[in-house]
């Protein structure tokens, strides 16, 4: 996966800002980013933060056979790993041109400068020597990897201690740290690399370029120097022609920066030594609460802590009891558990409602038809002179076509008198 290229407008913006002596993070032309140095739990593990660039260096050792041309000297080996975790432009399992250049520059800076006494690493002349291996892992890439790698490597070498060795005849015994204290390496001086980036064919110069500034630069100059102002190595890349005055100017700036970084490394080593001797928190355990393990960390926010107890007491007094968020479990059916009422099942309810509505409509239509038929039948019976009795009760309707003839007797005397009156009225009508 390749990194996202810069747009033309962004490139023009960066170059215009450099012409006006302004940088994206607010630094001046010759300013370094903030440097943090922390150590791991074991000896020889070092983390260096150069702004957002984060590098880890780990030093290890083993007894091997020396080289034939140098039988009395130990072996120094450097390995730089650019993992995809640092940047999407890095590929795992394949050495890129950047990793090869960094590895060569680091070897020139530390091994070819004779900063470590390799003869002190000899155990048995011509047979056994110590091999010191420095593995550097890039955890986050935000520019200037060479400076961060050189600081991490030399700090890890100062912090590392190899096991003590005892020789009896032809037998070589390596003592663990519990039996004998480990021995630090013999280091003569501390070479540190300082990078300079040039823009517009050397017209403008920046110290400690970030990742975006490295994309638009024309050339890069790396100077490795110690605090005694001795140049250990120098390398120029990018194909630009530099004048003698420019190189001398960069060397003077590098001498000032190297002295500042050397003092910072010395203080970090002293603080770690005091913490380990006092039995306090150090290494991985010390960096965990401060969230300094990962590159993306949080900034501390100032909080007023004077009246915390009073404020908390007032809040607790005014607060109401929280409602029960989780109801008690319900067992609707044996063998089944349920928390809360759950969602109502709407499967088939719409169809049932539609059927009920259709049934209600059909019942109303039937009632209307029955009432109309009853009214028509009532009119017909009135016109024919028949007697119809319609009851409003819910029982079955009873229709009397011919009224019953009452029995003659003393109880029906009232009814016979009514019949006589009706007969007299009929005679009058006929007359």
Count of CA atoms in the C-beta half-sphere (13 A) of 425: 6
pLDDT digits (tens, 9 = 90+) for 314-328: 888 887 776 665 555
For the chain, domain boundaries: 31-287
pLDDT digits (tens, 9 = 90+) for 155-195: 999 999 999 888 887 788 888 888 888 999 999 999 999 99
Which range among 13-17, 80-84, 166-170, 362-366 shows the weakest confidence by mean pLDDT?
362-366
C-alpha span between 55 and 32 (Å, rounded): 16
Inform me whether the pLDDT recorded for 394 exceeds 70: no
What pLDDT, on a 0 to 100 scale, did the predictor assign at position 396? Answer: 52
| 31-287 placed in CATH 3.30.230.70 | yes
Spatial CB neighbours of 159, under 8 Å, sequence gap ≥ 6: 39, 43, 44, 45, 46, 59, 269, 272
C-alpha span between 225 and 84 (Å, rounded): 31
Extract the tokens encoding 284. 């991985």
C-alpha span between 46 and 152 (Å, rounded): 6
pLDDT digits (tens, 9 = 90+) for 209-219: 998 888 888 88
Query: What 3-state class would DSSP assign to 32?
Result: coil
- State percent of the chain over pLDDT 90: 24
pLDDT digits (tens, 9 = 90+) for 258-286: 999 999 999 999 988 888 888 766 665 55
What pLDDT, on a 0 to 100 scale, did the predictor assign at position 239? Answer: 76
User: Residue 388: phi, psi to the nearest 5?
Assistant: -125, 130
Q: 279, 180, 282, 195: which is closest to 238 by C-alpha?
A: 195
Assign 431 a pLDDT band (cuts: 50, 70, 90): very low
pLDDT digits (tens, 9 = 90+) for 352-376: 666 666 666 666 677 777 677 776 7
Query: What 3-state class would DSSP assign to 293?
Result: coil
User: Residue 48: phi, psi to the nearest 5?
Assistant: -125, 125
Assign 411 a pLDDT band (cuts: 50, 70, 90): very low
C-alpha span between 168 and 162 (Å, rounded): 19
Instruction: Mark residue 92 as left, alpha or beta (left: phi above 0; alpha: psi -120 to 50; beta: remaining).
Output: beta
Question: Which has the higher per-residue pLDDT, 268 or 291?
Answer: 268
Instruction: Judge whether 261 and 36 are in contact, CB under 8 Å.
Output: no
Assign 137 a pLDDT band (cuts: 50, 70, 90): very high
* Single pTM value for the model: 0.65
Q: 57, 10, 2, 91: which is closest to 265 by C-alpha?
A: 57
């Amino acid at each position: 996966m390749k990194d996202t290229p810069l747009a033309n407008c962004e490139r023009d913006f960066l170059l215009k800002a450099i012409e006006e002596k302004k940088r994206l993070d607010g630094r001046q032309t010759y300013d370094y980013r903030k440097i943090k140095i922390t150590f791991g739990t074991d000896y020889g593990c070092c983390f260096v933060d150069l702004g957002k660039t984060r590098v880890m260096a780990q030093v290890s050792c083993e007894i091997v056979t020396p080289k034939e041309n140098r039988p009395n000297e130990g072996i120094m080996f450097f390995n730089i790993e650019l993992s995809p975790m640092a940047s999407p432009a890095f590929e795992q399992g394949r050495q890129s041109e950047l990793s090869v250049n960094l590895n060569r520059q680091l070897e020139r800076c530390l091994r070819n400068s004779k900063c470590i006494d390799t003869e002190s690493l000899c155990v048995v002349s011509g047979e056994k020597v110590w091999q010191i291996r420095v593995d550097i892992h890039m955890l986050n890439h935000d520019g200037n990897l060479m400076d961060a790698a050189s600081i991490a490597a030399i700090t890890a070498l100062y912090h590392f201690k190899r096991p003590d060795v005892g020789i009896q005849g032809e037998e070589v015994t390596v003592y663990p740290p519990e039996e004998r204290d480990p021995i630090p390496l013999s280091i003569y001086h501390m070479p540190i690399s300082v990078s300079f980036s040039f823009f517009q064919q050397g017209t403008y110069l920046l110290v400690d370029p970030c990742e975006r500034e490295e994309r638009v630069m024309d050339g890069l100059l790396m100077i490795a120097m110690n605090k005694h102002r001795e140049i250990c190595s120098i390398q120029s890349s990018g194909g630009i022609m530099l004048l003698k005055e420019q190189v001398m100017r960069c060397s003077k700036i590098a001498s000032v920066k190297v002295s500042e970084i050397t003092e910072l490394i010395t203080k970090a080593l002293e603080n770690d030594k005091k913490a380990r001797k006092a039995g306090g928190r150090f290494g991985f355990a010390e960096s965990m609460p401060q969230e300094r393990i990962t590159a993306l960390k949080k900034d501390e926010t100032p909080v007023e802590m004077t009246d915390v107890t009073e404020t908390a007491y007032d809040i607790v007094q005014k607060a109401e009891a929280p409602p029960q968020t989780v109801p008690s479990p319900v067992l609707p059916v044996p063998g089944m558990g349920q928390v809360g009422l759950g969602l109502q099942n709407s499967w088939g309810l719409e169809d049932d409602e539609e059927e009920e509505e259709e049934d209600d409509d059909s019942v109303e239509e039937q009632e209307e038809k029955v009432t109309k038929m009853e009214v028509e039948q009532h009119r017909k019976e009135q016109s024919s002179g028949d007697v119809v009795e319609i009851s409003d009760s819910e029982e079955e309707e009873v229709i009397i076509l011919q009224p019953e003839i009452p029995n003659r007797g003393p109880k029906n005397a009232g009814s016979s008198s009514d019949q006589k009156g009706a007969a007299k009225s009929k005679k009058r009508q006929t007359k």
